[in-house]
Amino acid sequence: MSGKLEYLLRLGDSVLILGHRVSEWCGHGPYLEEDIALANTALDLIGQATLWLEYAAEVEGKGRTADDLAFLRDSHEYRNLLLVERPNGEFASTIMRQFLFDAYSKPLLARLAAHNDPRIAEIAAKTAKETAYHLERSTDLCVRLSDGSEESHSRMQAALDDLWPYTGEMFTRDDVDAEFGVDPADLRADWMSTVKQLETVGTLNLPETDFAHQGGKTGQHSEHLGYLLAEMQWLQRTHPGATW
C-alpha cells in the first residue's frame, strides 16, 4: 500500500467509523432534538468519509469505489483511530468522544487546507466548516453537562477518564504522517487549548497520565471494530452488489 493511500484511509476511516457509531443513536437519543442532531452529525461524518475514500480509491487505482473501501475490507485493513471505534456507552461517553475528536479535527483540517495536494486541500477546506460546527456543539454540551448537576458532572468525569488514554494516538507520528500529512505533534497544543475548557469552565479534572493506546492507524484494532463492521457491512456482504 502506498503511503498516500495509507494517509487518505486514516482520514477517511476515522470519520467513517465515528459516523457509524454516532448513527447508532438514531431513535435512541435522550430527547427528540438531540436525536435529530446526532443523526445529522453522523450524516456529516459519513459524507466526509465519502470524499476521502473516493480519493483513496482513485489513488489506489484498482477500480474500487468508496463503497468498496467502506464495506468490503476486513478490520485489519482499516486505519481509523482507536478512539472512534469505542462503543457509545451512555450519552456522556458519546458526547465526550465527539468533543475530543472534534478538538483534534479542527486544527488538522486547517493545516490540510494548505496542503500541496490540491485535492486534499479542497476536501479539508470543505469539511472544516462542518467540523467547526461539530466542535462548537460538542464543546457546549460537554461544558454544560460537566458544570451541571452532581450526577451529570460525575458521568462526564467518568467518560473523560475512560477515553483519555485513547487520545494520545492522535498525536503519534510515523513516516506516513511525515511525508503526506501534517506532523500530528504540532496539533497537540491547539487540541489541549480547546480541551482545557473542560477544566476551566466545565470544572472537570484532566487526567495526568500520558499512557496512550495505539495501533489503529496501522491496522491493529480492538474487538469493538469487528462487531461494528459485522453490523455495518452485513447487507453488502450478504447481497454483494445489491442496488435499489
Which domains are assigned to the chain?
Answer: 3-206+214-238 (1.20.1260.10)
Question: Environment class of residue 228 by beta-carbon count within 10 Å: exposed (0-12), middle (13-18) or buried (19+)?
Answer: buried
136-151 confidence digits (pLDDT tens)? 999 999 999 999 999 9
Give residue 181's pLDDT.
Answer: 82
Rounded Cα distance between 170 and 216, Å, is 10
Encoded amino acid at 93, one letter: S
Rounded-to-integer distance, Cα 210 and Cα 69, Å: 33
CB neighbour burial string for 202-225, b if at least 16 within 10 angstroms, e if fewer: bebeeeeeeeebeebbebebbeeb
**Do the Cβ atoms of 134 and 44 come closer than 8 Å?**
yes
Q: Average per-residue pLDDT in the chain?
A: 96
The DSSP code sequence of 171-186 is G---HHHHHHS--GGG
- The conformation of residue 206, written as its DSSP 8-state character, comes to P
Please state the pTM of the whole predicted model: 0.96
pLDDT score of 180 = 86
* Contact residues for 77 (Cβ-Cβ < 8 A; gap 6+): 219
pLDDT of residue 241: 82
* C-alpha pair distances (Å), 61 with each of 2, 65, 188, 190: 11, 10, 34, 36
pLDDT in tens, 96-111: 999 999 999 999 999 9
pLDDT reported for residue 1 = 78
Q: Which of 123, 10, 19 is nearest to 69 (CA)?
A: 10
Angstrom distances, CA of residue 55 to CA of 48, 52, 98, 132, 154:
11, 5, 25, 22, 42
Kindly state the average pLDDT of the residues 116-141.
97
Percent of the chain with pLDDT over 70: 100
